C-alpha cells in the first residue's frame, strides 16, 4: 500500500539534535525500499518496483538480484530469516522462499485462492504465517498459515475481518502472540491480535489513531508507528501508551530496534532515536534529503544506520550515534513476579517477571488443591530484565488458580482467576 505524503515541519520538544550527522548516498536502484534483512554476509532489500536487491559489501552499494521469478518483481514488503531459510512476503506475488541463504528462490504459494497481497511473513516452529492485505476480487484479508515443509496455505482462525483494507504490518512476539496493523481500517480496527496461534482474532485498536503503518516487537513489547505518532503496548494490545507527545498528529513510517534503542522514521523530521524507551528523542536527520520525501525503511548494520527514502533519493547511510550503542543496565536488583493481566481472564493472560541475572526459570500453574495443572516454562533459560509469557487455558474450568515462579533460589506464587 502506497500512502499519501504528509508533512508537519520540524517538531519542537525533541532532545539533542545531531544536526551535523553526515549521511552518504548509497549506490543503488532508485526505487522505494520497504524492508531490509541480513543473511550471513549478505544484505537484502525489498523494493517497490524492481524486486530484490542485494549488497555483498556491508551495504556500501546495492544492485538488483535476479531471482528468475516473476512473483518477485512485485512489491517486496517483508522478510523473515531462520538460519539459511529466507521468507519473502510480496504484495501481488504471495510468498517466496530460499533455503540456501538467498542464492536460489522458489515460489511457495500452493493453497492461496487467488493472487495474494502478502505484507508480512513469520515462522514459528514448523508453521509459517502470512498476513494478507485485501483487494476487491482477490484473496480475502487475514493471516494464513502453512507447514514449512510444503505450501498448503489456509486461512488461520476466526474473527479477522475478511475485507480489511490496508493491512500494513505483521509481528510475532517472543511468547507467540500475533499482531497485524492496518491503515484504511475504519470501524474494522487498526490492530488485530491473536493470542492462540492464529485460531481466534480480536480487534485491539489504538484509540485516537486512524492508520497503523508499522509494528515492531522486542520480546513481548510491541511498538506501533501510526498516523498519530508512536505507541507501545506491553500486554498484547489490551492497552496502548503514547510515546513522545511531540509526535502527535505526525506520521511514523518505520521503527527499528537495536540494542534496546528505538529508531523511528518520522514525517517532516526524518530519523530520530531514543535511549530511554521513548521518553525523549534525538534527531539524527542531518543532511538527509527529506524535503518533499519521507523515510520508508530503516536498517542498522556494521555501525551504520541505513535510511531508504520513498522517492528518487534512494538509500543513504550514516555512522550510528555513540549514545545509541551503550549497554542497557536496566535490570532489577532482585527477581520479581507481577500480577497476571488481564485478571480475571478467559482464556489467555500474560504473566510478567523480572530477573537480576540470566537464570533457568520454571513457571507452573496449580489448582486450589495444589495439583499441578499446567507447565508454562520448565527449566528454560531467560535473560536478565523483564520477561513476559503468555498463558492460555482452553481446557481448564472456571475458578481460582495459582502460578508459581522458580528462578534460582527465588520462588514466588500469585493467584489468578479464570472466568468462562
Does residue 205 belong to any structural domain of this protein? yes
Verdict on whether the full-model pTM lies above 0.85: no
For CA atoms 206, 121, 174, 419, give the dihedral sign.
positive
**Domain CATH code at residue 239:** 2.130.10.10
Does residue 303 belong to any structural domain of this protein? yes
User: Are 146 and 217 members of one domain?
Assistant: yes
Measured distance CA(344)–CA(416) in Å, rounded:
7
Measured distance CA(160)–CA(211) in Å, rounded:
17
| Per-residue pLDDT, 330 | 54
| Per-residue pLDDT, 10 | 39
**Domain CATH code at residue 405:** 2.60.40.2550
Does residue 68 belong to any structural domain of this protein? yes
User: Are 348 and 386 members of one domain?
Assistant: yes
170, 120 contact by CB (below 8 A): yes
User: Are 293 and 371 members of one domain?
Assistant: no
User: Are 252 and 163 members of one domain?
Assistant: yes
Of 324, 344, 369, the residue at which a domain comes to its end is 324
How many Cβ atoms sit within 10 Å of the Cβ of residue 47?
25
Identify which of 216, 256, 215, 222 has the alpha carbon closest to the alpha carbon of residue 236. Answer: 222
Of 271, 300, 324, the residue at which a domain comes to its end is 324
User: Are 46 and 98 members of one domain?
Assistant: yes
Going from the C-alpha of 221 to that of each of 24, 233, 257, 376, 388, the distances in angstroms are 33, 6, 11, 19, 9
User: Are 99 and 140 members of one domain?
Assistant: yes
Does residue 313 belong to any structural domain of this protein? yes
- List average pLDDT for each run of 10 residues in the chain, which is 420 residues long: 41 47 90 92 92 95 96 95 93 95 96 90 95 85 95 94 92 94 83 94 92 94 95 95 86 92 93 88 90 93 92 89 53 85 83 88 94 90 80 88 92 92
DSSP state of 345: B
Does residue 1 belong to any structural domain of this protein? no
User: Are 161 and 112 members of one domain?
Assistant: yes
Does residue 13 belong to any structural domain of this protein? no
User: Are 262 and 300 members of one domain?
Assistant: yes
Bridge partners of residue 231, in order along the sequence:
224, 242
| Per-residue pLDDT, 259 | 80
User: Are 306 and 400 members of one domain?
Assistant: no
For CA atoms 198, 159, 217, 108, give the dihedral sign.
positive
Of 287, 303, 324, the residue at which a domain comes to its end is 324
* Cis before 342 (ω within 30): yes
User: Are 259 and 365 members of one domain?
Assistant: no
Residue found under cell 528454560: 380
The 3-state DSSP class for residue 14 equals coil
User: Are 220 and 301 members of one domain?
Assistant: yes
Going from the C-alpha of 208 to that of each of 143, 189, 213, 279, 342, the distances in angstroms are 25, 11, 14, 20, 22
Which residue segment(s) compose the domain that 349 sits in?
A: 336-418
Does residue 9 belong to any structural domain of this protein? no
Does residue 128 belong to any structural domain of this protein? yes
Count of structural domains within the chain: 2
Sheet holding 229-233, edge to edge: 212-218, 221-226, 229-233, 241-243
| Per-residue pLDDT, 329 | 41
User: Are 343 and 377 members of one domain?
Assistant: yes
Amino acid at each position: 500500500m502506497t500512502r499519501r505524503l504528509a508533512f508537519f515541519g520540524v517538531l519542537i520538544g525533541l532532545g539533542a539534535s545531531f544536526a551535523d550527522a553526515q549521511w552518504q548516498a548509497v549506490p543503488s536502484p532508485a526505487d522505494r525500499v520497504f524492508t531490509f534483512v541480513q543473511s550471513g554476509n549478505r544484505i537484502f532489500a525489498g523494493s517497490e518496483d524492481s524486486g530484490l536487491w542485494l549488497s555483498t559489501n556491508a551495504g556500501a552499494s546495492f544492485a538488483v538480484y535476479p531471482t528468475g521469478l516473476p512473483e518477485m518483481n512485485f512489491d517486496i514488503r517483508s522478510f523473515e530469516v531462520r538460519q539459511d531459510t529466507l521468507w519473502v512476503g510480496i504484495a501481488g506475488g504471495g510468498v517466496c522462499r530460499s533455503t540456501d541463504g538467498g542464492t536460489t528462490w522458489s515460489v511457495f504459494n500452493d493453497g492461496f485462492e487467488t493472487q495474494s497481497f502478502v505484507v508480512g511473513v513469520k515462522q514459528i516452529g514448523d508453521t509459517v504465517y502470512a498476513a494478507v492485505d485485501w483487494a476487491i476480487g482477490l484473496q480475502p484479508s487475514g493471516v494464513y498459515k502453512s507447514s514449512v515443509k510444503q505450501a498448503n496455505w489456509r486461512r488461520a482462525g476466526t474473527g479477522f475481518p475478511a475485507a480489511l483494507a490496508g493491512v500494513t504490518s505483521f509481528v510475532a512476539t517472543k511468547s507467540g502472540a500475533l499482531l497485524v496493523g492496518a491503515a484504511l481500517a475504519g470501524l474494522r480496527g487498526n490492530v488485530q491480535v491473536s493470542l492462540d496461534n492464529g485460531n481466534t482474532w480480536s480487534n485491539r485498536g489504538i484509540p485516537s489513531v486512524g492508520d497503523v503503518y508499522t509494528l515492531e516487537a522486542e520480546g513481548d513489547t510491541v511498538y506501533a508507528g501510526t498516523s498519530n505518532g508512536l505507541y507501545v503496548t506491553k500486554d498484547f494490545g489490551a492497552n496502548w501508551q503514547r510515546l513522545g507527545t511531540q509526535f502527535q498528529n505526525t506520521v511514523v513510517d518505520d521503527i527499528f530496534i537495536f540494542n534496546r534503542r528505538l529508531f523511528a522514521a518520522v514525517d517532516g523530521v526524518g530519523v530520530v532515536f531514543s535511549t530511554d524507551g521513548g521518553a525523549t528523542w534525538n534527531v539524527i536527520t542531518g543532511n538527509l534529503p527529506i524535503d518533499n520525501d519521507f523515510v520508508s525503511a530503516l536498517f542498522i548494520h556494521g555501525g551504520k544506520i541505513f535510511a531508504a527514502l520513498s522517492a528518487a533519493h534512494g538509500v543513504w547511510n550514516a555512522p550510528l550515534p555513540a549514545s545509541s550503542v551503550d549497554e542497557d543496565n536496566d535490570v532489577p536488583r532482585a527477581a520479581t513476579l507481577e500480577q497476571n493481566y488481564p485478571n480475571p481472564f478467559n482464556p489467555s493472560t500474560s504473566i510478567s517477571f523480572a530477573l537480576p541475572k540470566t537464570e533457568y526459570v520454571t513457571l507452573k500453574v496449580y489448582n486450589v488443591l495444589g495439583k499441578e495443572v499446567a507447565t508454562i516454562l520448565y527449566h528454560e533459560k531467560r535473560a536478565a530484565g523483564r520477561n513476559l509469557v503468555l498463558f492460555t487455558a482452553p481446557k481448564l474450568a472456571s475458578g481460582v488458580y495459582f502460578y508459581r515462579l522458580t528462578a534460582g533460589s527465588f520462588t514466588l506464587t500469585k493467584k489468578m482467576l479464570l472466568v468462562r
